Amino acid sequence: MNSRRFRASVLIDTYNHEKYIEQAVVSAMEQDFPASDYEIVVVDDGSTDRTPEIVRKFAPRVRLLTKKNGGQASAFNAAVPELRGEIIAFLDGDDWWRREKLSAAVAAFAEHPDAAAVGHGFFEFCERTGKTKVCVPERPGLADLTTSERAHGAFQVWDFFRTSGIAVRREILDRLLPIPEGLVFCADTLISGACIARGVWACQEPLMYYRVHGENLCAFERTGDDAKARRRSEMHELLFELLEPMLVKMGVRRDVAWALLYPYFTELMRFKLSRFGGSRLNAFRTEMRAFAAEYPNPSLRYRIFKHTAVGAATLLLPPRTFYRAKEWYAGKNLGRLRERVAKSA
């Protein structure tokens, strides 16, 4: 293999994206970044459609790696060792970039030499409606896990480090690989979590388009497909089981790791219990854990209110019923009544 080094590598992971892959590849090729300074590599995860055929049209500018279908983690494990860039910028085969993406990411790394990764805002494009929504961080800045307060802030920008929005220093990936291949999807979240532990820079400018379509593996909670929703839930549980010990091993205090992860874990458990049911005890534990994380120093009055009202409801009602009632309560904005009864310190 040619041993030439590049300032950056673009890694496009794809599986059965024949409708979208050309747009992704072209967006990587048309960057306003010197073509001699970056390579483009596509890893095809065993597509059964015309995806590899379409990618081959762009050789030799674009290099294609093929493998048996195994999921996102296995694709990253196979492809990253083949890359020759100091910075790895990821792109899903069904998304695409703005022309300024790569130059902005490389400039941010130069300006913030301690950042393990750079993320940014994005445009969410809904294929069904044709509408585009702009999603950006409230403000640009550094996110890390030095304290619980910083971890809460890091959670707020975590979504801006999704696959097509993250660029990572090669040395971080070399330490992290191999990624557990049980992560058929969501492997990017493990990477971004590791980077946040080292410190990441969030740019405010939207630099990529995230496409929402019927085959999105992480967007089907909006549909009635229980099989896909259950699969997503199981994958996110595995991800959570991997994230906490990984962060602690990297030197993050356990309480700080939990401050980052509790909103994610709470959302996961609430979704699972409301969609598929479960034990009342699990619902109780989920709500009490969320309360403890959100209110580390509540007043005695508020603690009593939370345990007697919310806690009792989780133990009396089936989880599906409880979460339907919780959704109704939030929809009616009845939280103002709670504040009158018992306000946290």
187, 207, 222: which is the final residue of a domain? 222
267 in a structural domain: no
Q: Please, where are the H alpha helices in the chain?
A: 21-29, 51-56, 72-79, 101-111, 148-157, 170-176, 187-198, 226-249, 254-276, 280-294, 300-305, 312-316, 319-331, 335-341
272 in a structural domain: no
222, 245, 263: which is the final residue of a domain? 222
> 147 and 294, same structural domain?
no
> 29 and 128, same structural domain?
yes
Task: Please give the residue range of the domain that contains residue 38.
Answer: 6-222
35-51: per-residue pLDDT in tens? 999 999 999 999 999 99
> 64 and 169, same structural domain?
yes
> 44 and 192, same structural domain?
yes
240 in a structural domain: no
- pLDDT band at 333; cut points 50, 70, 90: low
> 207 and 81, same structural domain?
yes
197 in a structural domain: yes
> 123 and 55, same structural domain?
yes
Contacts of 165 (CB under 8 A, 6+ apart): 119, 120, 121, 122, 207, 208, 210
11 forms beta bridges with 41, 90
185, 201, 222: which is the final residue of a domain? 222
> 125 and 55, same structural domain?
yes
Total of domains in the chain: 2
> 301 and 216, same structural domain?
no
Strands 200-212 and 96-97 come out as antiparallel
pLDDT of 296 strictly over 80: no
81-136: per-residue pLDDT in tens? 999 999 999 999 999 999 999 999 999 999 999 999 999 999 999 999 999 999 99
pLDDT, residue 345, reads: 45
What's the predicted TM-score (pTM) here?
0.87
Token pair, residue 243, equals 């994230």
244 in a structural domain: no
Contacts of 276 (CB under 8 A, 6+ apart): 226, 230, 233
Question: CATH number for the domain including 34?
Answer: 3.90.550.10
pLDDT of 221 strictly over 50: no
pLDDT of 225 strictly over 90: no
Please state, in angstroms and rounded to a whole number, the distance separating the CA atoms of residues 282 and 280: 5
Given a contact cutoff of 8 angstroms between Cβ atoms, the answer to whether 274 and 319 are in contact is yes
227 in a structural domain: no
> 308 and 167, same structural domain?
no
Q: Which of 171, 168, 196 is nearest to 257 (CA)?
A: 196
> 175 and 293, same structural domain?
no
Given a contact cutoff of 8 angstroms between Cβ atoms, the answer to whether 41 and 113 are in contact is no
163 in a structural domain: yes
147 in a structural domain: yes
Mean pLDDT along residues 15-25? 98
